[in-house]
Amino acid sequence: MNSINLRQRTLFKIALSLFFLLIVVIGGLFIGEESMRINMENKNSSPTLDHLFGTDWLGRDMLSRTLKGLTLSIGVGILAALSSTVIALCLSLLASFNKTWDRIVTWLIDLFLSVPHIVLLILISFALGGGFQGIVIGLALTHWPSLTRVLRAEILQMKSMDYVGISLRLGKTRLWIARHHFLPHVLPQLFIGFLLLFPHAILHEAAITFLGFGLPAEQPAIGIILSESMRYLSAGMWWLAFFPGLALLIIVGLFDVLGKNIKLFIDPFHAQKP
């Protein structure tokens, strides 16, 4: 047996990934405008000790821009994924209420899934005037259907369980059953759903920003950084895309580690398994 057991290892991993995420967010929040100032004397510099990630075509420090962009992207991702998950949970609970509601919810799911994400996203975000608010609402309103479908199936299965029937016969209300039977059961699915939505949301945010319907170009979102640097890649300025892209990858990976370990930690039935 190792000196540290599985539960301690799980906690350690959670703490480590949280720590890195916090560093990025705090770093991003405390970097002021001056470190991203335009400095034409030092433009297009490859990575040096002064500028670890190099500088861009306006001489702005890429490290600061990346951190700032990551913070913004994490913010957008978390907000959008969280509200999507909440929408999915509410709709799937609604679907469990009776047959009519189930039909309405399934119809809504089919409707939203039949239109490409990006089209709806552009429509909603454009109608709301774009910007941070527009893009978050747009993402939240387009990313719930697949998760809702999974949750609905889970809850329908739960509904036929003997213990749910017993609770009904003991005079419990539907709300009570939803809170005490369904919610604890779908919590792991909610977590996984949230995690899968997160990178999706960030990538869609980048895509729509690239098309000009999202965040304004002066904000250093990762999507904007990446799409701008595309033009300079052929000129051999690899660092412009490489470091921000790698950073985004690491952040998504960190979220994955965090989610997996939190699931291990809260689920009493898998806590023992390696």
Partner 1 sequence: METNGHYQLPPLLEVKDFSLAFPSFKKGLRETKMEVIKKLNITIHEGEIVAVVGASGSGKSLLANAILGILPDHAITHGTLLYKGENIKEVLRGKEISIIPQSIHSLNPLMKTGKQVQGVIHQSDRKVVQQDIFERVGLPEDAENKYPFELSGGMARRVLAAAAMVSPAELIIADEPTPGLDPKVLKETISLLKQLAREGKGIMFISHDIDTALTIADKVVVFYKGETIESADAAAFSGKGERLRHPYSKALWNRLPRNEFFQREKEMEQKQQSGEMLEIRGISYKYGNGPYVFKDLDLSLQPGEIVGLHGYSGSGKTTMAKVMAGYFQPEAGTIRLGGKKIKKKGMHPVQLIWQHPEKAINPRWQMHKVLAETNMENSPLLNELGIQEEWLSRWPSELSGGELQRFCIARALHDGTKYLIADEMTTMLDAVTQAKLWEMVLRIAKARSIGVLAISHDHQLLQRISDRMINFNEINHVHES
Where along the sequence are the contacts to partner 1 (CB under 8 A)?
5-8, 11, 161-163, 165-167, 169-172, 180-181, 184-185, 268-269, 271-274
Residues 6+ away with beta carbon under 8 Å from 92: 105, 148, 151, 152, 154, 155, 186
C-beta closer to partner 1: residue 75 or 188: 188
Is 270 in contact with 263 (CB distance < 8 Å)? yes
C-beta closer to partner 1: residue 250 or 271: 271
CB contact burial 262-274 (16+ within 10 A = b; e otherwise) = bbbeeeeeeeeee
Q: How far is the CB of 104 from partner 1 (least distance, A)?
A: 25
Q: How far is the CB of 168 from partner 1 (least distance, A)?
A: 8
C-beta closer to partner 1: residue 19 or 176: 176
Q: How far is the CB of 163 from partner 1 (least distance, A)?
A: 5
Distance CA 142, CA 109 (A): 10
C-beta closer to partner 1: residue 131 or 184: 184
C-beta closer to partner 1: residue 12 or 19: 12
Query: Burial level of 34, CB count in 10 A (0-12/13-18/19+)?
Result: exposed
| Residues constituting the chain | 274
Q: How far is the CB of 151 from partner 1 (least distance, A)?
A: 16
Q: How is residue 94 written in tokens?
A: 């609604």
Q: How far is the CB of 268 from partner 1 (least distance, A)?
A: 6
